[in-house]
Structure 1
């Protein structure tokens, strides 16, 4: 595809009917996310075959790896928002330059973070209360993982460049391919095959490194083929200015992503007071939530480019219509998912455990918590829409309000008054209140942007 063809594709986001456009962009992401989640489960399965200690060691690495991944996600959000807005306003050369800058900045930032992680590995995991016997496993895994971390972030930011141009199919293929390759390399490198020795837990990190390397090659080749990158700064652009624009959205977005595991850690501690069966059931419930929220996650990736491009074109009615369609769709889809989960609750519980108490709590979780998933979807979509409107601090404030003003406190109060039933109900009530606030806040911000544009037009 030539650069002209890419421009035509970008223009479709500001002119084609919203409903088919949004779903054309969303369904490939759904497949990619669902596939990636499935392969991540396979990854955990193979590591678990090494024994309890290797699995526990990898579990301890989650806060560190999630910090890097959150930075990558935030940079991807910033990249997509900046590039899509410029494409919507017709500044193609600026968008291509910003794409190249985003890749360079992402590589430099994550490389710097990896060096710090490498140098302070022992103190970090000692602070995380990792037992001494697990440290050799953690070192084996993290030394390789940190070396390849920059290779993880580059495909994520490259995919954001593609989504900003209206292409969600290719990023989904790259995402799914990476997960598939990782699942193929895992057993070969962990357990050995033919002349390839068994690397144990280090093999899992090597499998990731290898799949990331292939992902980098694919995404850079494709971006170059589509002529979506340039290192030549157009008039009025500079490396520092582009960096500032991307980071002004990317850093707050990364911070907002990091809040979720913190809140879930607090909630897990509350659940732990009810005993091991409650913790086990809550763990199953959170995994079910990730599967039940695949469409929400997919829409949170496909909606922002549509909003950003129309925002750049000053098509505020189309921005409002796209947001409204996404919210209505999520509420309907999550209602259907809730009915399916409730219908299958006894079978789901039986598939995960033979313990009657754990099974009872899993069923309780399913009967209550998924009622709030559609409402939670409104909050997530509003956050991604705020970033698309270049309002990252609004997204960050909404995340803090949802998690630490509503979700954790109301869940805790519910647990105090009505035990686990109350904890789950408190979470649903928190999502309900925050969803209303999110809807109102988005309408208010969009109205402000529209009035600002009209005032500037009058004075121009």
Structure 2
């Protein structure tokens, strides 16, 4: 009984400090490889399940028609914007938060946590208002044909209503990960995704809501994920989430902007790139838009494994960089490069062999299958480069190299892909749309090499200075 009373009477602040000290020891003393695998496993599972329920939407909507499948490609641009906002606040606050925890500054970390969360919710409300007011011209601007536009509007309406919860879900997932609490972040995302597996077909076919039911299911499930992640954060985070800590100042906002800008650029450029792909595919008809939309979902599913590995590396990188343990940062980086490249090679072989069957799962239209399968096979030749591209960019972002990280994030999806996908179709026709992503991946790889070499040399110099 005495022990029970003693536990109940413990100061919550002391519990938080003890948890922070234990996490600091784990992140800075345990073997890097095992630590990254431990933290990346929940992130990989979260990403795979999240991507799986995106593919489930694509599968069920594919049963409705080619125009509906094309609408998913249009809606994907909006979803990318919501992710961009969530990642901006999650990574913007989380990168600095991890470094502050590495310096044992829990108070500053708590302020960053609260600013990231409430900032994300506020921006989500703004997207809801602007999106619903401009929805009809918006889907046309994103590349909809006359037949696709009504379905895109149906799908996006409930999703935009849930925008604050969607943005905040991605933010909270990131903030939990950067504190080394990937398992709790996983619970929130996976719960919503699993619910969607049952809810989507029930609304689409059971209640005969069609593509509107798919959008409604996604909105409901994202809201459920938000509620679970909010509970997990208040219960298990290393530092406390509280509105009282929501005290933005110039220095903290600058830190969030610096840490989040690469994510915002990467996701924003991704939205622009998807729009450019849709616009480039538009002259070739609904089948081209639908085929490329399916390919983008499949490649996202593949890359989600690598992103999860990088998400396991980022908190390790942030803690150890903040603590000045630069050799551990480099060791973790090269471990992730080897793992990601090996995984992507294996996945590329599997995708190349099964490309027509995979596209056919989502849409039986032979034209869609022909366009999508060929595009998927082209991307298989270069997707292994993304291990180096992604890991380097995540490391640059986490250690505060904002300018370089933002530029390289822009390169792959904006600076290279957008013009390539708009120029090549004029030369090669639909083949230009199909090969654009691979051309962009190669160019990004070549540009990333000198920047990353410079950063690794600087880490080596800092390590030598600390040793002496």
Give yes or no for the alignment of 1:173 onto 2:187.
yes
Residues 105 and 243 of structure 1 are in contact (CA less than 8 Å); yes or no, is this contact kept in structure 2?
A: no
Structure 2, gaps ≥5 residues long:
1-11
Give yes or no for the alignment of 1:391 onto 2:401.
yes
Which structure 2 residues correspond to residues 262-341 of structure 1 after superposition, within 5 A? 262-267=272-277, 282-341=292-351
Residues 81 and 271 of structure 2 are in contact (CA less than 8 Å); yes or no, is this contact kept in structure 1?
A: no
Cα distance in 2, alignment partners of residues 172 and 324 from structure 1:
25
Which structure 2 residues correspond to residues 27-66 of structure 1 after superposition, within 5 A? 27-48=41-62, 59-66=73-80
Which structure 2 residues correspond to residues 41-440 of structure 1 after superposition, within 5 A? 41-48=55-62, 59-125=73-139, 127-128=141-142, 141-191=155-205, 201-227=211-237, 228-231=239-242, 238-240=247-249, 241-267=251-277, 282-345=292-355, 348=358, 364-365=374-375, 367-403=377-413, 406-407=416-417, 428=438, 430-440=440-450
**Cα distance, 1:229–1:446 mapped onto 2, change above 3 Å:** farther
Residues 96 and 256 of structure 2 are in contact (CA less than 8 Å); yes or no, is this contact kept in structure 1?
A: yes
Kindly state the Cα deviation for residue 10 of structure 1 after the two structures are TM-superposed: 3.7
Give the secondary structure class of the aligned counterpart of 1:102. Answer: helix
**Cα distance, 1:446–1:89 mapped onto 2, change above 3 Å:** farther
Residues 289 and 370 of structure 1 are in contact (CA less than 8 Å); yes or no, is this contact kept in structure 2?
A: no
Give the secondary structure class of the aligned counterpart of 2:180. Answer: coil
Kindly state the Cα deviation for residue 313 of structure 1 after the two structures are TM-superposed: 0.7
Cα distance in 1, alignment partners of residues 148 and 34 from structure 2:
51
Q: Deviations over 1:400-423 (max 9, x none)?
A: 333455556667887788887788
Give the secondary structure class of the aligned counterpart of 1:372. Answer: coil
Kindly state the Cα deviation for residue 84 of structure 1 after the two structures are TM-superposed: 0.8
When structure 1 is superposed on structure 2, of 148-157 and 57-66 the one drifting more is 57-66
When structure 1 is superposed on structure 2, of 99-108 and 405-414 the one drifting more is 405-414
Cα distance in 1, alignment partners of residues 299 and 143 from structure 2:
28
Residues 74 and 251 of structure 1 are in contact (CA less than 8 Å); yes or no, is this contact kept in structure 2?
A: yes
Cα distance in 1, alignment partners of residues 431 and 144 from structure 2:
32
Q: Deviations over 1:297-350 (max 9, x none)?
A: 212322211111111111111111111111111111222223333444565566
Cα distance in 2, alignment partners of residues 439 and 351 from structure 1:
38
**Cα distance, 1:438–1:213 mapped onto 2, change above 3 Å:** same
**Cα distance, 1:205–1:434 mapped onto 2, change above 3 Å:** closer
Query: Counterpart in 2 of 1:19?
Result: 33
Give the secondary structure class of the aligned counterpart of 1:339. Answer: helix
Residues 84 and 268 of structure 2 are in contact (CA less than 8 Å); yes or no, is this contact kept in structure 1?
A: yes
**Cα distance, 1:205–1:301 mapped onto 2, change above 3 Å:** same
Cα distance in 1, alignment partners of residues 89 and 437 from structure 2:
29
Residues 415 and 422 of structure 1 are in contact (CA less than 8 Å); yes or no, is this contact kept in structure 2?
A: yes
Residues 55 and 298 of structure 2 are in contact (CA less than 8 Å); yes or no, is this contact kept in structure 1?
A: no
TM-score by length of 1: 0.82
When structure 1 is superposed on structure 2, of 255-264 and 265-274 the one drifting more is 265-274
When structure 1 is superposed on structure 2, of 6-15 and 100-109 the one drifting more is 6-15
**Cα distance, 1:422–1:44 mapped onto 2, change above 3 Å:** closer
Give the secondary structure class of the aligned counterpart of 1:293. Answer: helix
Kindly state the Cα deviation for residue 9 of structure 1 after the two structures are TM-superposed: 2.3
TM-score by length of 2: 0.81
Structure 1, gaps ≥5 residues long:
none
Kindly state the Cα deviation for residue 22 of structure 1 after the two structures are TM-superposed: 0.9
Cα distance in 2, alignment partners of residues 413 and 126 from structure 1:
21
**Cα distance, 1:327–1:143 mapped onto 2, change above 3 Å:** same
When structure 1 is superposed on structure 2, of 354-363 and 78-87 the one drifting more is 354-363
